[in-house]
Structure 1
Amino acid sequence: MTVRRAVSTVIALALALILAACAGLPTGGSVHVGKAIDEVEGPPDFSYVPNSPVRDATPQQIVEGFIAAGSGPRGNWKVAQEFLTTTFRQKWQPQAGVTVYAPGESSISSPAENELVFSVEPVATVDATGSYRPADPGRIPFTFSLVQERGQWRIAQAPDGIVLDANRFGSVFQSYDLSYFDRGWRTLIPDVRWFPSTNPATRITAALVSGSPSPWMAESVRSAFTGEVTLTQPSVPVQSGIAQISFDPSIRDLNRETLARMKTQLEASLAGAGILDVQMLVGDEPLDVTARTTRSTAVDARPLVLRDGAFGFLSGNDVEEVPGLGDALDEADPESVETDAARTTAAVRTGSGAILRVSSDGQRTEVDTRAGMTAPTVDTFGYIWTVPEDQPGEVVAYAPDGTARKIPAGWVGATEVAAMRVSRDGARVAALVRSGGQWAVWVAGIIRDESGSVPTSLGQPLPVATLGGRGVDLSWIDGATIAVVYVDGQQRVVREQTVGGQGTEVRGPDGVVAVAGGNQSGSVFLLTDDGSLYAQRGSWQILASDVSVLADQQGLPG
């Protein structure tokens, strides 16, 4: 999840480290926590300071020390470079990427003289832009060639990038949301990236200003930064929580709307690094820019249910009905429901498997007559998306006027799909799919026409997570997180998965058939096959019984 560091938390951590130091300093171990070294003024960062090579170390000790030094990003991995020959230091590119491996799943061998192979069972990879991707199964070998330089073994050849076990990776790197706009410039879309936690403001700003969106969503989002302006200094100073970002003078030629969009993206992206405000500068002169207001994708925090014929939000033992939709839905015999943000349209699958568009004026229209359909989902423009469980490539989006738009390729590469949900921003869609005999979570960008509303295709699907059993249901929690339910043996497992990051799992109640996300981690609701509604309050607690449908929401009215 995106890192939100409060200053008070950092100060408390600093005090704890100082007090711990009074009890004595560690004298052993290959890696230890050292004093923070700030590159620019701002909230202090805390990072590992790995050990330098020891004199007369063996080739294996040099390779193992080099791997351990991947935990020290200071000075462009300065300590790790000490394990390299003088010549190879000029060639090695530590920022080329990260291979994250399962703790304890590594080995080292020597297939030839002066050559060592470090093999790992990968968990994920992070590329040079900070994009995280689950790794394919199978061990990865890293080959190192060593020579003696001034009587000491040093590495003369090694792959670019660093290698970290999953535990150390979570301490050295943190996730941050780069913020982009949807195609209509209305809503911010997070693009999760992983950077070393030292001086994150500089890394985030460089990625946003000089980089581009992740390829899988590039055609579904927009950025105000299109290469027309550049940064005039590599670092971003932070004073009293305000990031000071210096641009070249050409930024003055841009119109006020573009500048406002730039500041909006910068403020949202840097908020995850604890930045309170952004000051855009040309030289020493601040630009007079005000960020834009964007559309919220929050939903009502209460569960939206159909219970005893009443459709609405559960408040205690009562249901606060949604005007108009309640009567129409009760008569439709719904099995699954998703409402648009205005709560005037619902995408419905009935008990007989029919797919309906239900309106708050009481109209019910059958939109898809194919058999074996997954639960439908409605996007921000009123399109109802459908796909048959056994035909993942046959995705269709139905316009409010009933026009069917076939989405080319659909979930290409999948053999089965259990659930599909459009994100609340309307720019992405997630699915539970089976591919290669394995159940997984995939996400794709939604590509729309020039008007920005009509869906035309999906981008290349991004595998987000591999599951330990058959998928049951999924729901968006926020712009970067999906709640997933799957079956592992006889158990239901609930997984919160970051799109472009890691996931966490807990055991769910028996018989879960539906999940609905709220607005933050831990805010999911579950419905079981006996009509029990659960919420996570430390453990799973029953909120109500006799619930017929747990509905998904696409947002709030307004």
Structure 2
Amino acid sequence: MTPVTARRRGLALLLAACAVALTACAGFPTSGPIQPGVDPDDFADESQNVAFLPNRPQPGATPAQIVEGFIEAGTGPGVGGDWARAKEFLAPELQETWQPEVGVTVDVFTERTYTEDEDGGVTFGLDAVATVDDRGEYERAEVPERTLPFSLAKQPDGEWRITAAPDGVVLDRERFPRVFQRFSVMYFDPTGEYLVPDVRWFPTTNAPARITAALVDQLPSEWLAASVTSAFPEDVTAVPAVPVEDGVAQVELSEQALGADQRQLNRMLTQLEASLAPAGVLDVVMSVGSTPIPAEAVVTHSTRVPGAPLVLTEAGFGFLTGGEVDPIPGLSEAVAAATPVSVQVAPNRDFAAARLQTGTVARLSAEGADFVEVDPRAGLIDPTIDPFDIVWSVPREQPAALRAYLPSGDAVDVADAWPDATAISAMSLSRDGTRIAATVTAGGRTALWVAGVVREDGIPVRLGAPVALAIVGGPALGVTWLDDQTIGVLATGEEASIVLEQVVGGPTTTTNAPAGMTSIAGGSGVSSLRLRAADGTLYGRRGTTWQPTATGVVVLATQQGAPQ
């Protein structure tokens, strides 16, 4: 067995053990499904101290009732942590082989059906929303309608028990955000300047141990792996127990960690602290055995942007504060002179990418020089830029023809862009430059996809395999990053505008906005999300409603960061 194989085998055992605890606080679904527009974060507090005790099998229960009770009881391992209550629904020979820890199916409670056949077998029908695997990775269900077969037989006492059952457990989508919490396993971008989140879903019980195992012992999610780096060497593993006392987590690593240099140790600590912070960890002490490893977290670049909207009005281009436009020195003059239809500003605010009224894509400089046309192709969508001052552009009807225009003026064709897509309507790079989101047409439907950006010496060479995040309920008008892990999408509905907020690696929240919205821009979080209407009215969200905040906005621009 190779070292990597041995490591992965050990990892699988660890993950299985973690997953056994994964559904520790699950239980009966108590009501109908979540309605569109509910944010899973609303349930974060509710999931902290909830315990459920499933019912035992009832005397004289039918096969369908036994399966129904098993599905409900299988959502919680019970006091002993061995799914003893769920196993009461199983025949003795199955109790030793059934594996509840292999994964979770998230479904719609009201769509569950239990159908008996003549031999006592039961088919469990469900509408799947998503799945969560033993790594904590959330994936949208492409095929909702599913069936799970169960075989049953009467036992010597005359009661029905299950003799064959699928592994894994089922949680309805209302219970899911009450049982699981979203965490981000943090990696570095290839430059080491940014931290990049890889979203996982774990229950809060023993969350630090699960997060540490995901970071140290696992690889990043497959779609993201080629776009990020980790300071942890492949041969370094973590002890499963991660005690936390007074906010300080003790992370014990294998002795191979002693071979890392100080820079690498500092980066390892940085990843741990950032990953564990949402679990209530204030500080991390790394050790080998009982010996602490001295390290200091490194400083990374923030991807937060100012909350004030960035707009072009008759008064000029800049940040709209208190009804006045606060210009960006040099760049505001260049933008106003170009009279663009879309603008995205670089983190240092020294240049912007714009689509002009002629349809071409240009680079605008704060140095005051005339704009430089970089992409003259026909039918271009709004461009996007990355931390390397590279402008990305693509024609609407040719999604595979994605190009990156370097500051030198050279153009690079980005390989493997949006395979199987027939059109692309909007795109935006994450502010760390590791991921690109786009609304594309594929199979006759408009969908939101995300892909990792693969670079060589900072230059993008290809996209990783895309992940379909959501189906967009109408023609898409714009895509924006709200934060490091959430994408906002504006689409046109039949009677209203549609706003999607999509966690990369999580569920979708959909809300309606006033009809006639034409563009969207994100800030740092949901509260700074802005929409522009066709008549130039700017809207901001206040609670669950959209309210006008300004008029006369010609262009609602987006920001790719802020000066460091």
Write out per-residue CA displacement over residues 345-392 of structure 1, whole angstroms, 9 at most, x where no aligned residue: 101001221110111112311111111111000111111111111111
Q: Can you give the 5+ residue segments of structure 1 that lack an aligned partner in the other structure?
A: 1-28, 33-42
In structure 1, distance between residues paired with 2:440 and 2:449: 7
Q: 1:236 to 1:486 in 2, by over 3 A?
A: same
Offset at 1:77?
4.0
Tell me the equivalent position of 1:511. 516
Tell me which of 494, 497, 503 is aligned to 1:498: 503
Q: 1:326 to 1:259 in 2, by over 3 A?
A: same
In structure 2, distance between residues paired with 1:237 and 1:100: 30
Give runs of aligned pairs for residues 196-235 of structure 1, distance below 5 A. Answer: 196-232=203-239, 234-235=240-241
Q: Can you give the 5+ residue segments of structure 2 that lack an aligned partner in the other structure?
A: 1-26, 31-46
Tell me which of 105, 111, 117 is aligned to 2:111: 105
In structure 2, distance between residues paired with 1:276 and 1:64: 43
Tell me the equivalent position of 1:158. 165
Tell me the equivalent position of 1:60. 64
CA contact (8 A) 1:76 1:94 kept: no
In structure 1, distance between residues paired with 2:404 and 2:318: 26
Asked if 1:69 corresponds to 2:76, the answer is no
CA contact (8 A) 2:316 2:327 kept: yes
Structure 2 counterpart SS, 1:251: helix
Bigger share in strand = 1
Offset at 1:470?
1.5
Tell me the equivalent position of 2:178. 171
CA contact (8 A) 1:31 1:50 kept: no
In structure 1, distance between residues paired with 2:320 and 2:397: 34
Tell me which of 197, 202, 207 is aligned to 1:195: 202
Q: What amino acid sits opposite 1:215 in the alignment?
A: E
In structure 2, distance between residues paired with 1:372 and 1:44: 51
Asked if 1:530 corresponds to 2:535, the answer is yes
Q: 1:372 to 1:490 in 2, by over 3 A?
A: farther
Structure 2 counterpart SS, 1:542: strand
Q: What amino acid sits opposite 1:59 in the alignment?
A: P
Q: CA RMSD in A?
A: 1.9
Write out per-residue CA displacement over residues 286-308 of structure 1, whole angstroms, 9 at most, x where no aligned residue: 22221111111111111011111
Asked if 1:276 corresponds to 2:282, the answer is yes
Asked if 1:241 corresponds to 2:251, the answer is no
Offset at 1:149?
4.4
Give runs of aligned pairs for residues 413-432 of structure 1, distance below 5 A. Answer: 413-432=420-439
Structure 1 counterpart SS, 2:111: strand
Give runs of aligned pairs for residues 17-416 of structure 1, distance below 5 A. Answer: 45-73=49-77, 75=81, 77-151=83-157, 152-232=159-239, 234-363=240-369, 364-416=371-423
Offset at 1:73?
4.6
TM-score by length of 2: 0.88
Offset at 1:124?
1.2
In structure 2, distance between residues paired with 1:77 and 1:434: 44
Structure 2 counterpart SS, 1:48: coil
Structure 2 counterpart SS, 1:411: coil
Offset at 1:90?
2.9
Q: 1:517 to 1:149 in 2, by over 3 A?
A: same
In structure 2, distance between residues paired with 1:245 and 1:307: 53
Offset at 1:55?
4.0
Structure 1 counterpart SS, 2:462: strand
Structure 1 counterpart SS, 2:336: helix
Write out per-residue CA displacement over residues 312-362 of structure 1, whole angstroms, 9 at most, x where no aligned residue: 100111111001111111111100000110001101001221110111112
Tell me which of 451, 456, 459 is aligned to 2:461: 456
Structure 2 counterpart SS, 1:328: helix
Offset at 1:527?
0.7
Offset at 1:155?
2.1
CA contact (8 A) 1:30 1:65 kept: no
Write out per-residue CA displacement over residues 130-178 of structure 1, whole angstroms, 9 at most, x where no aligned residue: 1111111441111111234453433222222111211111222221111
- Where in structure 1 do 4 or more consecutive aligned residues deviate above 4 Å? 29-32
Offset at 1:181?
0.7
Tell me the equivalent position of 1:480. 485
Q: After the TM superposition, which of the residue ranges 385-394 and 194-203 deviates more from structure 2?
A: 194-203
Tell me the equivalent position of 1:440. 447
In structure 2, distance between residues paired with 1:211 and 1:119: 33
Structure 2 counterpart SS, 1:551: strand
In structure 2, distance between residues paired with 1:225 and 1:85: 45
Q: What amino acid sits opposite 1:177 in the alignment?
A: S
Tell me the equivalent position of 1:521. 526
Q: Report % sequence identity.
A: 45
Offset at 1:439?
1.3
